[in-house]
Structure 1
Amino acid sequence: MSEARADIYARITNEIVAAMEAGAGEWNMPWRHDGSSVARPVNLISRKPYRGINTLALWIAAHAKGYGDGVWATYRQWVERGAKVRRGEKAATVVFWKQIRGRIQETIDEADVFDVDDGRPRFVARGYAVFNRAQVDGYEEPDAPRLPESERVAHAESFFTALGIPVAYGASGAWYRVSEDRIYMPDFGRFAEPTGFYSTLAHECAHATGASHRLDRDFSRRFTKQAVAAEELVAELTAAMILADLGLAAHPRADHAAYLSSWLELLENDRRAIFTAASKAQAAADWMHARQRASAAQKESEAA
């Protein structure tokens, strides 16, 4: 690695740490969604927000699973819109209160219903299984603004293609699935800006560099319960470094530090953690650059 690049990486690391310690504001996903996961979950068909305990239940479910979309619907509602819930997906439960009159002598959907007949209206709770947009295939949010293909950056496209890491597009969010050694990404058009797309892709590629057949990165012994936090530090630092190398960001984006602010406990418990993360991020970025040379050499060999 060149001395100039090493200086850039050191500066990026220092800037992110400073931003984290100063408080970098709120992190928002760089791809477009309806925003209801931030305000209130909404139903696919009615577009009305869920209310009361349902709001809390769906917030908890979305947070636990890392869903980046606030749209929910029953299995039948998704089918009506041409989508299909993926096999093995677990539903969240919402409650609908129905007004009744007269004598009821059974329990409906595990709700307590009393045997009374005094003519007064009563409400019974009925439970419904709902699935998040992230759990289905074949659905595209109508009339969503899309980033045009003309906004793609050619040299960045070549850079990530040369890594040889499998990427599946069309996902509702972004993640690296270790068991498949595959990255899942939203389509390019769903991002608010090109830099957000390449930053997210770089983050997930950084995770992929930790696979056993690549850099074999494992923080489970070094950081035990905070191993995930350490890995996220590496991924975000790597993404910031790669964007700088590609000329897409002279400084780390504010959302890098905002995203990482939730991991400040790791730095507070271990002041050397950021140096370890920066070293591993540098190794990940170096691996990506090495892949560029290997890819170019392979193309020359095939052309000969």
Structure 2
Amino acid sequence: MSSTSTSAQRADVYSRVTAEIISAIEQGAGEWRAPWFHHGTSIARPTNVSSGKRYRGINTLALWAAGFAAGYGDGLWGTYKQWQDAGAQVREGERSTTVVLWREIQVSRQDDDDGQRRMFARAFSVFNVTQVDGYERPATPTLPEAERLAHAEAFIANLGVKTEFGGSEAYYRPSADTVFMPPFTSFHDAASFYGVWLHECGHASGSKHRLDRDLSGRFGSAAYAAEECLVEILSGLVLADLGIAHHPRPDHAAYAASWLKVLKDDPKAIFTAASKAQQAADWMHARQSRTKAKATSTSATLRQPSHCDGNCA
């Protein structure tokens, strides 16, 4: 099969996967959650003991500040009652930290016009896990190493992006040109592991010596949101290419949807992200061909006899 027809078939698959992601977003993709067994141990990711969800916005900053000031080494938090429900007891004399929950309410009006929606805030007092007694973390399941997928490992290795494993966060650090990943055993399943790894390698594809995308956007900005959208779509595309997921996983759509909210003023945002995702996917596939060609060339060179000016025995 020619490379042209292969590229055309891949483009057709990419169009289908992108359309499914858009459809899922339009129908309501749900809430995204990290696909590894993250339970709040990282102080940089404050997490609620009851819901297992991360705190957001100003609450994240408040709990960071409180955690660092008190020297806490854990990011798990909960209200007095939530700790009681978890079978623990806040120690007497411990000081709480305040977080705020914003809720939207419908406000009725006297005339016949539609009511207005308003936000109101409710404060909660929370305590860190290091401030309680009697709490034991639930047993965390681990993903067997035997479920690693050799063809996916080879595909990612051919990208030439350095990866370091350990910790509980996944991210790409441009200054070191390195991807950092939680270990394989921390993930819910193999597809989640390779999806996140491809996501972070997708960021690496945008470095100046590769596809040269703008990676300078600050968290929460439109530029940051656009980059997150495109690498998550990229992850879904390449998982389909590798036969790991023939349809986009719900978490891909939910993650992209969370960032599309930032891009809501640009109706073409999803299509721009999809176009750049395809460019990055094509770059990843090109790396496979280049690596194989280089290996073949090296092997052929090693097989050639040395030059002996006609004096060989």
TM-score tier, shorter chain, comes to 0.5 to 0.7
Give SS of 1:173's match: coil
Corresponding residue of 2:298 = 302
Question: d(CA) in 2 for partners of 1:39 and 1:142?
Answer: 14
Pair 63,195 (structure 1): closer, same or farther in 2 beyond 3 Å? farther
Contact 2:169 2:182 in 1 (8 A): yes
| C-alpha distance after superposition, 1:107-143 (max 9, x if no partner) | xxxxxxxxxxxxxxxxxxxxx9999xxxxxxxxx996
Counterpart pick for 1:31 among 36, 46, 62: 36
Displacement of 1:265: 3.0
Cα 1:23–1:64 change in 2 (3 A) is farther
Distance 1:77 1:208 in 2: 30
CA contact (8 A) 2:221 2:262 kept: no
Cα deviation code 1:202-240 (max 9, x no counterpart): 10011110000000012779xx94001100111011000
Aligned residues: 233
Structure 1 length-normalised TM: 0.66
Q: 2:49 aligns with which of 40, 53, 61?
A: 40
Maintained 8 Å contact 2:170/2:200: yes
Deviations 1:166-193 (A, max 9, x none): 0000121100011111000000011110
What CA RMSD, in Å, does the superposition of the two structures yield over aligned residues?
3.8
**Does residue 21 of structure 1 match 2:30?**
no
More displaced 10-residue stretch of structure 1: 226-235 or 262-271: 262-271
C-alpha contact (below 8 Å) 1:75/1:130 kept by paired residues: no
Equivalent of 2:142 in 115, 132, 146: 146
Counting aligned pairs with the same residue, the percent is 48
Counterpart among 149, 159, 183 of residue 163 in structure 1: 159
Relative distance call for 1:272 and 1:298 in structure 2 (3 A) is same
Matched, 1:2 2:7: yes
Over 3 Å counting, the alpha-carbon distance change for 1:19 and 1:149 in structure 2 is same
- Partners of 1:11 and 1:281 in 2: CA distance: 14
- Identify if the C-alpha distance between structure 1 residues 289 and 59 changes in structure 2 by more than 3 Å, giving closer, same or farther: same
Structure 2 matches for 1:1-304, cutoff 5 A? 2-34=7-39, 38-40=47-49, 59-61=59-61, 75=71, 98=93, 144-218=140-214, 225-304=221-300
- Identify if the C-alpha distance between structure 1 residues 157 and 301 changes in structure 2 by more than 3 Å, giving closer, same or farther: same
Question: 2 CA distance for matches of 1:9 and 1:62?
Answer: 41
**Secondary structure in 1 aligned to 2:175?**
coil
Residue 20 of structure 1 contacts residue 264 of structure 1 at CA under 8 Å; is this kept in 2? no
2:258 match: secondary structure: helix
Gaps of 5+ in 1: 42-48, 50-54, 66-70, 79-95, 100-127, 132-140
Change (3 A) 1:192 1:184: same
Matched to 2:256, the amino acid is L
| SS state at 1:2 partner | helix
Unaligned runs of 5+ in 2: 1-5, 75-90, 95-126, 131-136, 301-313
CA distance 1:278–1:21, shift in 2 (3 Å)? same
Offset at 1:40?
2.9
Three-state SS of the structure 2 residue aligned to 1:98 is coil
